Amino acid sequence: DMKVTQMPRYLIKRMGENVLLECGQDMSHETMYWYRQDPGLGLQLIYISYDVDSNSEGDIPKGYRVSRKKREHFSLILDSAKTNQTSVYFCASSSGDSDYTFGSGTRLLVI
Amino acid sequence: SQLAEENLWALSVHEGESVTVNCSYKTSITALQWYRQKSGEGPAQLILIRSNEREKRNGRLRATLDTSSQSSSLSITATRCEDTAVYFCATAPYAQGLTFGLGTRVSVFP
């Protein structure tokens, strides 16, 4: 069963704490993505990774960094989380520009 | 501004009826994709229609693409309550990841 797995599913952090969101895929897709989804703003692209250690900023990278040391894993890091980073974060992977698979999301609340 | 956008926030239909969601886009594309997102889940790809295709079907779903007017539609026939979701169109310009519209919420009532 091909899938993208995100951990954790729910997370509550205090402002200023560091946050690690993890994502894994079992399809050997080269390209992986991190999006955030907010009401009224839709899905916004944070980072793209084209392969191990080959990452590129998306539309809203400020306040985030990523790490990809293995093809199947892609992490999103928030150093010193802010309240405006409260959101639902989705990881996705794709085969070329066609077959995209999304995870179920991580709901992050920063208080 | 959105590179792809649906033209209605919400639609409601009764089970068994058909519903159509429309989308317009602003860039030249190689393909347009339709997604469904149910509450508490991530987006799930429904149909990918390439720029040289005018229509594509997937079961009860039918997507059309008109590159001259830069528009697309997704129709669902014989709707069911489980079709209740937000439907998005999305494009992938310059292989820089998907750009989504804000979505149309479709509610199917018994």
Q: Is A90 on the interface with B (CB under 8 A)?
A: yes
B100, A104: Cβ pair inside 8 Å? no
A58, B45: Cβ pair inside 8 Å? no
Band (pLDDT 50/70/90 cuts) for residue B97 is confident
Q: What is the CATH number of domain B4-109?
A: 2.60.40.10
Q: Is B31 on the interface with A (CB under 8 A)?
A: yes
B16: helix, strand or coil: coil
Whole-number pLDDT of residue B29? 87
Per cent of chain B over pLDDT 90 is: 76
Is the model more confident about B4 or about A50? A50
Identify which of A23, A32, A20 has the alpha carbon closest to the alpha carbon of residue A77.
Answer: A20
Rounded distance between C-alpha atoms, residue A101 and residue B37, angstroms: 12
Query: Which segment of A87-101, B21-35, B93-107 scores lowest on mean pLDDT?
Result: B93-107
Rounded distance between C-alpha atoms, residue A66 and residue A74, angstroms: 7
Residue ranges per structural domain of chain B: 4-109
- Check whether A98 has a pLDDT greater than 90: no
Q: Is B110 exposed, middle or buried (0-12, 13-18, 19+ CB in 10 A)?
A: exposed
Task: State pLDDT tens for residues A16-33.
Answer: 999 999 999 999 999 999
- Check whether B95 has a pLDDT greater than 80: no
- Check whether B48 has a pLDDT greater than 60: yes
Whole-number pLDDT of residue A9? 95
Residue from the list B30, B31, B42 with its beta carbon closest to the beta carbon of A105: B42
How far lies A54's CA from each of A32, B38, B82, in Å?
Answer: 10, 32, 39
Rounded distance between C-alpha atoms, residue A77 and residue A22, angstroms: 9
Residues in chain B within 8 Å Cβ distance of A89: none
Task: State pLDDT tens for residues A32-81.
Answer: 999 999 988 889 999 999 999 999 999 999 999 999 999 999 999 999 99
The alpha-carbon gap from A104 to the nearest alpha carbon of chain B, in Å, equals 5
Whole-number pLDDT of residue B1? 47
Asked if A110 and A82 count as a contact pair (C-beta separation under 8 A), the reply is: yes
A99, B45: Cβ pair inside 8 Å? yes
Whole-number pLDDT of residue B94? 66
Mean pLDDT of all residues in B23-44: 93
Mean pLDDT of all residues belonging to chain A: 95
Q: Is B95 on the interface with A (CB under 8 A)?
A: yes
Which residues face B17 on adjacent strands?
none
Whole-number pLDDT of residue B2? 56
Mean pLDDT of all residues belonging to chain B: 91
Whole-number pLDDT of residue B8? 74
Domains of chain A: 4-110 (2.60.40.10)
Rounded distance between C-alpha atoms, residue A33 and residue B58, angstroms: 26
